[in-house]
Amino acid sequence: MVEDRRHEILREINEFVQEVGQSRLGPLSLSSVFSVLASPPPTDIDLSPLIDYLSRYPHGRTWKETSDTIIAYINSFGLSQICSSVAVRRFLHLCVDPEYRDAHGNDLWWSTPDEDEMRIRREAEILSASTSYLSFHSSSLTLQQFSTAVPLLLPSRITVHCRIPANLPMNLLHPPITPRHLPNRAQPDHLPCPSPLIHLLRSATPTE
C-alpha cells in the first residue's frame, strides 16, 4: 500500500510539519520515514518544510540516509525550484561540518562510515557552491552540471579537473560554521495525530 502511495503520503507529511511545532515531532522516526517515502525523489513536491525540520533536528543514527535522500532530491528537483533556500543552506552546512552534533548532542556522523561521510561532504560542497552560483546567475543547475565548473571553489583537499566560467565569482562558498550543540529542549507531550498516516511520525522527542 505504501509502495503505491509513497509520494502522496510524503506530500501529506510535508504539509503536516508546517502546521505543528517542530519540537513536538520525533527526529528519528520522521527521518526514517522520510528516507523511505522520498526514494525515489519526487519531482513535483517542494520538500522545503521537511528539509527545514530535518536540518534543525538531525539524528546521527539516520543521518547518512537522510543526507543522501535530500541530496538526491535537490539534484532531481532543481535548486531554483525549492522555495526555502535557507533550509537548503542549513542542510548543506551540516553536511560540510565534521564536528556538528545531532538532536541528542551526539556526533552527527557517528553511524556514517568515513568513506560515505567524505562523499556526502564533497557533494554538499558542490551544491553549496551552486546555490551561490544560482543567486548570482539566476540559472538552474544540477549537481552533475555544476560539478564540471567549480574546481577552485572547493576546499584544497578535493581535486577536480575541469573548466571554470570566466564570470564565476570566487567567493561562493559560505564561511565555515562554528560547531555547536543544539540548545536543550524540554520534552513536550505528543500531539494527537490528525490522520492515520501521521502515526508514523510519533516517537520520543529529543532528550539530552
Phi, psi of 101 (to 5 degrees): -110, 150
Task: Write out pLDDT tens, residues 125-165.
Answer: 999 887 765 554 444 445 555 455 444 344 433 333 333 34
Query: Please, which residues bridge with residue 101 across strands?
Result: 107
- Tell me the three cell numbers of residue 28: 528519528
Whole-model pTM? 0.66
- Per-residue model confidence (pLDDT) at position 25: 86
Cis peptide before 40 (omega within 30 of 0): yes
Q: Are the CB atoms for 185 and 6 separated by under 8 Å?
A: no
Helices and strands per DSSP (H, E), number in the chain: 7, 0
Q: How far is CA 39 from CA 73, 123, 166, 181, in A?
A: 9, 18, 37, 30
Phi, psi of 107 (to 5 degrees): -55, 125
- Per-residue model confidence (pLDDT) at position 80: 86
Task: Write out pLDDT tens, residues 42-82.
Answer: 999 999 999 999 999 999 999 999 999 999 999 999 988 99
Which residues in 129-159 are b (16+ Cβ under 10 Å) and which e? bbbbbbeeeeeebebeebbebbeebbeeeee
- Tell me the three cell numbers of residue 61: 543514527
- Determine the average pLDDT of the residues in 85-109: 92
Q: How far is CA 168 from CA 55, 129, 143, 152, in A?
A: 28, 11, 16, 10
- Tell me the three cell numbers of residue 15: 504539509
- Per-residue model confidence (pLDDT) at position 20: 83
Contacts 24+ apart (CB under 8 A), 183-188: 184/208, 185/23, 188/21, 188/23, 188/24
